[in-house]
Chain A
Amino acid sequence: MPTDRPTAAAEETLGLQDLPPHTDARIVAVEAHNGRETADLAERLAEIGFLPGERVRLLARGPFGEPLAVRVGSDTFALRRGEAACVRVVAIGPAGDGRP
């Protein structure tokens, strides 16, 4: 896995669904959080690009707080809260110009 993330001690991971809007974050893990049912979900998320080390940003929320529009790599996906909860991230800081 990529090594260019902050030291573990300084990290505070949170679920992607709790990431403040327009904040850059780095994925630390994509995991099932709710038993067998989300295992398949986590795998699917990996297939569309939600992989540890990838950078994500919350672009927008739907009219009632759901779904979430998430930038991962150079793609944008709409996820519901339950899906986003499979993605553990660590915030890097407010959105800049997109460079690491």
Chain B
Amino acid sequence: MNALVADPLVALVGNPNCGKTALFNLLTGSRQKIANYAGVTVERKEGRLRTRSGRRVRVLDLPGAYSLRPRTPDEQITCDFVLGRLPDEPRPDVVVAVVDATNLRRHLRLVLALKRLGQPVVVALNMVDLARRRGLPIDGAALSRELALPVVETVGVRAGGAQALLDYLEREHAAAEPVAAPGDHPVADAIPLDEPAAATADMASVAADQHEVERILGRLGLAGVRADTPSDRIDRVVLHPVAGPLILAGTLFLMFQAVFAWAQPFMRAITALIAALAGLVATVLPAGPLASLLVDGVLAGAGSVLVFLPQIVLLFAFILLLEDSGYLPRAAFLLDRLMGSVGLSGRSFIPLLSSFACAVPGILAARTIPNARDRTVTILIAPLMTCSARLPVYTLLIGTFVPARTVGPGIGLQGLVLLALYAAGVGGAFAVAWILKRLRRGSALHPLQMELPTYHVPSLRNLGIGLLQRVEVFVRRVGTIILALMVLLWFLSSFPVPPAGYPGAAIEYSLAGRLGALLAYLFAPIGFNWQISIALVPGIAAREVVVGALGTVYSLAATGQDVAGQVAPLIARAWSLPTAFALLAWYVFAPQCLSTLVTARRETNSWRYPALMAGYQLALAYGAAGLTYHASRWLLGPA
């Protein structure tokens, strides 16, 4: 391969819900690189493919867009990219306009707009199988004639479904020679370069395009066809005013049930594995700083976080399945009125649901909200959804301090407390949104304009690829930020070494111990001791670290005993009930991890909102913890 010649760049462009991402996955498999576009945080998904003759092609999956008049940051990127307006990004050599064959009426308008740009365009007539099954007379050759563009048929969800597109790319674009300039291309020849027209499109030109689409559909015998689809029949039940909310509640219940119940065996296996590793290190290495670093720092720290990988996988699996099937927008539809009462729209539901797994993807998902104010508020309250990072803290404290008895048939007290903590987070989020609504007078008119796409059977392949990407992000985080923090904390907790004959635990003499003693003044009024105060410090970097940090602090504090990983019995002795409850309340509103703040900074392009976010959460957390501490002391009597 001639290394000097850049591989041709193919950009996939299409309306949202045209099956573009499935097609992208099919074309590139796992050879994908996910990054951000320079300067903005719109996800940039690039993949590579090899044609049958072994030629390489770069493929870019651009965010879905309804038109080339951008309304959201995502659409802006797509538009700028196709027009070659992005710095550091080349103009694509060929644009693949992905259209849903079952819905040409709308998708063809974007094709007309793309065609006007004068760039080589090939139309990928996607989901042809579905269209034919519905009896639509889909004729790729006729469409190609009418559009004066090459048309290939694809099925994004079937192996081999992209072969026609691959063959086309091989024939036309995968040349080993320098790629032809757009003007030299036979397709581009026929099309006048008409860039300003795209930029100044108005309602009249939208209507003109629609006329052209109607004309084409008329010629293809597709005009006026609008059968009652299976999707409509599903919607009659799912969007029903009574049945709909019940189905939604059942779905969410099943999801959370699965996350807590089904993940248990896997979590136990991971715990056992880490314990075995710690045992192995202890037998191989002599007792000393190195063994302590590995057992107390690395394994106790990172291991306690890795343990809830199964829960993250399950939660994301549910979210990806619901998203892929087309159900999520229906859920948003049903919840729109409820969310509207606190000044949000149903569109905020999807980012908030993702935030139960992690606030970072939740905040990223807020990009799909076109209304700037809604988007900001959604970003601000996303961290109040109980993310999976808080689970280990909850699990530890509930397991230790809440008795495992039943309060009704099949209802455990521990589960009930967990549910209450989730509810407190959601309630807090709604309260904050409501206050923000009162504080900021936005526009009275709140558009929703949300597409309810046709239902699809979710593709396992897409689910697999999506999950793999999430797992990779999580494991990388554990392996880098979290591990580094744990090692740093171990160092701070171990040095300086106290002089011989020091009466207290070694950690009290260390840097962390002294820092904790200072912080304890601040946290004593809400019932936190110095050990908790130390653990809270790395907890700001990443919430889930707190459990590991408590493990590190207590295992180092417990003089003479090997207690790594055995936090529960220690805190059961050391903490009063009000202290434990106060810590739980703290974590409902806990100031978020740094990655959330950094993500919010990038997404809002200012430090104002992350600062506001950290500030209000700190105040809420301190207030809630203080209230809980004193209320439970009053109720239970001082411990």
Tell me, in angstroms, the Cα distance from A97 to B452 when the chains sit together.
20
Measured CB to CB, the nearest residue on chain B to A59 is B235
10 A-B residue pairs with Cβ-Cβ distance under 8 Å, sorted by A, are A37-B445, A49-B210, A51-B206, A62-B241, A69-B452, A73-B106, A74-B103, A74-B226, A76-B235, A99-B224
Tell me, in angstroms, the Cα distance from A69 to B106 when the chains sit together.
17
B450→A78 contact, CB < 8 A:
yes
A78→B346 contact, CB < 8 A:
yes
B:50-109 near A, CB below 8 Å:
66-67, 69, 71, 102-103, 105-106, 109
A:49-100 near B, CB below 8 Å:
49, 51-52, 54-55, 59-67, 69, 71, 73-80, 82-83, 97-100
When A34-B445, A47-B206, A51-B207 are in contact, do A74 and B106 touch as well, CB less than 8 Å?
yes
Shortest Cβ distance from residue B16 to the other chain A in the assembled complex, whole angstroms: 10
Shortest Cβ distance from residue A20 to the other chain B in the assembled complex, whole angstroms: 15
Q: Tell me which residues across on chain B come within 8 A of A98, comparing CB atoms.
A: 224-228
Binds A, one of B157-165, B167-175, B333-341, B610-618: B333-341
Measured CB to CB, the nearest residue on chain B to A98 is B226
A75→B226 contact, CB < 8 A:
no
- How many A residues touch the partner, as a band? 35 or more
A62→B333 contact, CB < 8 A:
yes
Measured CB to CB, the nearest residue on chain A to B345 is A80
Beyond A30-B203, A98-B225, 14 extra complex contacts between A and B, CB < 8 Å: A38-B445, A43-B202, A46-B203, A59-B239, A60-B236, A60-B239, A63-B334, A69-B235, A77-B450, A78-B332, A78-B336, A80-B345, A80-B448, A99-B224
Measured CB to CB, the nearest residue on chain A to B244 is A63
B:488-515 near A, CB below 8 Å:
none
Q: Tell me which residues across on chain A come within 8 A of B245, comparing CB atoms.
A: 63
Instruction: Tell me if A48 counts as interface (CB < 8 A to partner B).
Output: yes
Instruction: Tell me if A14 counts as interface (CB < 8 A to partner B).
Output: no
Instruction: Tell me if B410 counts as interface (CB < 8 A to partner A).
Output: no
Q: Tell me which residues across on chain A come within 8 A of B383, comparing CB atoms.
A: none
A97→B228 contact, CB < 8 A:
yes
B336→A47 contact, CB < 8 A:
no
B446→A82 contact, CB < 8 A:
yes
Shortest Cβ distance from residue A2 to the other chain B in the assembled complex, whole angstroms: 8
B244→A78 contact, CB < 8 A:
no
A:10-51 near B, CB below 8 Å:
30, 34, 37-38, 41-49, 51
Tell me, in angstroms, the Cα distance from A62 to B449 when the chains sit together.
14
Q: Tell me which residues across on chain B come within 8 A of A48, comparing CB atoms.
A: 66, 106, 449, 451
The answer, among A44, A46, A78, A83, for a CB contact under 8 Å with B333, is A78
A82→B447 contact, CB < 8 A:
yes
Instruction: Tell me if B561 counts as interface (CB < 8 A to partner A).
Output: no
Q: Tell me which residues across on chain A come within 8 A of B447, comparing CB atoms.
A: 41, 44, 79-80, 82-83
Measured CB to CB, the nearest residue on chain B to A47 is B67
Instruction: Tell me if B232 counts as interface (CB < 8 A to partner A).
Output: yes
Measured CB to CB, the nearest residue on chain A to B347 is A78
Residues of chain A at the chain B interface (Cβ within 8 Å): 1, 30, 34, 37-38, 41-49, 51-52, 54-55, 59-67, 69, 71, 73-80, 82-83, 97-100
When A62-B334, A74-B226 are in contact, do A80 and B105 touch as well, CB less than 8 Å?
no
A75→B106 contact, CB < 8 A:
yes
Instruction: Tell me if B443 counts as interface (CB < 8 A to partner A).
Output: yes
* Per-position 1/0 for B172-210, Cβ under 8 A of A: 000000000000000000000000000000110011001
A79→B337 contact, CB < 8 A:
no
Instruction: Tell me if B240 counts as interface (CB < 8 A to partner A).
Output: yes
B:206-249 near A, CB below 8 Å:
206-207, 210, 224-228, 232, 235-236, 239-241, 244-245
The answer, among A37, A67, A75, for a CB contact under 8 Å with B451, is A75
Instruction: Tell me if B329 counts as interface (CB < 8 A to partner A).
Output: yes
Q: Tell me which residues across on chain A come within 8 A of B333, comparing CB atoms.
A: 62, 67, 69, 78
Tell me, in angstroms, the Cα distance from A60 to B329 when the chains sit together.
14
B449→A45 contact, CB < 8 A:
yes
Tell me, in angstroms, the Cα distance from A52 to B207 when the chains sit together.
8
Tell me, in angstroms, the Cα distance from A77 to B202 when the chains sit together.
21
Q: Tell me which residues across on chain A come within 8 A of B103, comparing CB atoms.
A: 74-75
Shortest Cβ distance from residue B372 to the other chain A in the assembled complex, whole angstroms: 13
Shortest Cβ distance from residue A49 to the other chain B in the assembled complex, whole angstroms: 5
The answer, among B227, B236, B340, B453, for a CB contact under 8 Å with A66, is B340
Tell me, in angstroms, the Cα distance from A48 to B332 when the chains sit together.
19
The answer, among A45, A47, A69, A100, for a CB contact under 8 Å with B239, is A69
Shortest Cβ distance from residue B233 to the other chain A in the assembled complex, whole angstroms: 11
B106→A44 contact, CB < 8 A:
no
Shortest Cβ distance from residue B128 to the other chain A in the assembled complex, whole angstroms: 16
Q: Tell me which residues across on chain A come within 8 A of B67, comparing CB atoms.
A: 47
Shortest Cβ distance from residue A46 to the other chain B in the assembled complex, whole angstroms: 5
Tell me, in angstroms, the Cα distance from A76 to B244 when the chains sit together.
17
Tell me, in angstroms, the Cα distance from A78 to B339 when the chains sit together.
15
Shortest Cβ distance from residue A56 to the other chain B in the assembled complex, whole angstroms: 11
Q: Tell me which residues across on chain B come within 8 A of A73, comparing CB atoms.
A: 105-106, 226
Shortest Cβ distance from residue B412 to the other chain A in the assembled complex, whole angstroms: 31
Q: Tell me which residues across on chain A come within 8 A of B337, comparing CB atoms.
A: 62-67
Q: Tell me which residues across on chain A come within 8 A of B450, comparing CB atoms.
A: 77-78
* Per-position 1/0 for B293-336, Cβ under 8 A of A: 00000000000000000000000000000000000010011101
Q: Tell me which residues across on chain A come within 8 A of B227, comparing CB atoms.
A: 97-98
B443→A37 contact, CB < 8 A:
yes
Q: Tell me which residues across on chain A come within 8 A of B239, comparing CB atoms.
A: 59-60, 62, 69
Q: Tell me which residues across on chain B come within 8 A of A67, comparing CB atoms.
A: 333, 336-337, 346, 448
Measured CB to CB, the nearest residue on chain A to B207 is A51
When A47-B206, A99-B224 are in contact, do A83 and B235 touch as well, CB less than 8 Å?
no
The answer, among A51, A64, A69, A79, for a CB contact under 8 Å with B449, is A79
B449→A77 contact, CB < 8 A:
yes
Shortest Cβ distance from residue B108 to the other chain A in the assembled complex, whole angstroms: 11
B:101-148 near A, CB below 8 Å:
102-103, 105-106, 109
A82→B241 contact, CB < 8 A:
no
Q: Tell me which residues across on chain B come within 8 A of A47, comparing CB atoms.
A: 66-67, 69, 206
Tell me, in angstroms, the Cα distance from A44 to B224 when the chains sit together.
23
B:537-593 near A, CB below 8 Å:
none
Q: Tell me which residues across on chain A come within 8 A of B345, comparing CB atoms.
A: 80
Tell me, in angstroms, the Cα distance from A45 to B210 when the chains sit together.
13
